[in-house]
Amino acid sequence: MSSWSPERKQSPGGWDPHLSRILFLLLLFVVSAKGVTPDPNACLVFHSRNGSSISCQPPAKLPRYLPADTVYLAVEFFNLTQLPAHILQGIPDLQELHLSSNQLEDLSAKFLLPVPQLKVLDLTHNALKRLPPGLFQVSAALHTLVLKENRLDSLEASWLHGLKALRHLDLSGNQLQTLPPKLLANFTDLHILDLGNNQLQTLPPDLLRGPLKLEWLHLEGNRLQVLEEGLLAPQPKLRYLFLNNNKLTTLAAGALRGLQVLDMLDLSNNLLTSVPEGLWASLGKAAGNMKVGFDISGNPWICDQKLDNLYLWLVANEDKMFSRNDTRCAGPKALEGQMLLAVASSY
Ligand X SMILES: *[C@@H]1O[C@H](CO)[C@@H](O)[C@H](O)[C@H]1NC(C)=O
Q: Footprint of ligand X on this chain (CB under 6 A)?
A: 48, 50, 58, 78-79, 157, 161, 182, 185-186, 325
In the 8-state DSSP scheme, what is residue 221?
S
Min CB(1)–ligand X separation in Å: 11
- Residue nearer to ligand X on the CB measure, 24 or 240: 24
Cα 187 from Cα 209, distance rounded (Å): 9
Cα 272 from Cα 252, distance rounded (Å): 12
Min CB(147)–ligand X separation in Å: 17
- Residue nearer to ligand X on the CB measure, 207 or 251: 207
- Residue nearer to ligand X on the CB measure, 160 or 262: 160
- Residue nearer to ligand X on the CB measure, 182 or 247: 182
- What is the radius of gyration, based on Cα positions, of the chain? 23
Beta strand segments in the chain, E? 44-48, 51-56, 70-75, 96-98, 120-122, 144-146, 168-170, 192-194, 216-218, 226-227, 240-242, 250-251, 264-266, 293-295, 301-302, 329-331
Min CB(134)–ligand X separation in Å: 13
- Residue nearer to ligand X on the CB measure, 58 or 205: 58
Residue 257 and residue 280 in contact, taking contact as beta carbons nearer than 8 Å? no
Residue 54 and residue 77 in contact, taking contact as beta carbons nearer than 8 Å? no
Min CB(157)–ligand X separation in Å: 4
Which H or E run contains 340? helix 340-345
Q: Tell me how far apart the terminal alpha carbons of the chain are, to the nearest angstrom.
A: 21
Local structure of 328: helix, strand or coil:
strand
Cα 204 from Cα 228, distance rounded (Å): 10
- Residue nearer to ligand X on the CB measure, 54 or 279: 54
Q: What are residue 58's phi and psi, to 5 degrees?
A: -55, 145
Min CB(212)–ligand X separation in Å: 15
Min CB(185)–ligand X separation in Å: 4
Min CB(76)–ligand X separation in Å: 10
- Residue nearer to ligand X on the CB measure, 186 or 202: 186
